[in-house]
Structure 1
Amino acid sequence: VSGLVVTQVDAESPAAAKGIQEGDVITDAGQKAVTSVDEFQAQIDAVVDAGRQSLLVLVRREGQPRFVVLNLE
């Protein structure tokens, strides 16, 4: 599986509140594959530029896919 491996999650962050954990792999953001931090940031920027406040990401944990909506406020 290619994507971004989550190496740290702030316990007080919106990501932690949504259940994202260390070791999860983010494979898609905004329905586009992401394999680098730059690609992930580009998806965040596109969402913000479009005036939206959340981003749909596909996270895999132990091979199991899971969609998570991240609030960008």
Structure 2
Amino acid sequence: MNDMTGHLKKARIKMVVVTAVLDERTTQTAKSTAPVLKEHSHDIGRRFYELLFAKVSELNNMFNQTNQRRGLQ
């Protein structure tokens, strides 16, 4: 198993643990807000990255900035 495979396996395990601790109210909230998030996902993503790069500028070199400007990443 290479290093990346190990990280992915650990990430999947963490996701399962997080999912298992969600209570019914949280699950219902997530399900009820999913359609709105889907509808506005492009705007949410654009704003997320805008704030991320403004607050943590050293991440700029980890993302393709041309794709960021074009809305592809």
What TM-score results when the alignment is normalised by the length of structure 1? Answer: 0.29
The structure with the greater share of residues assigned to helix is 2
Larger relative contact order, structure 1 or 2 (CA cutoff 8 Å, min sep 6): 1
Point out the structure with the larger strand share. 1
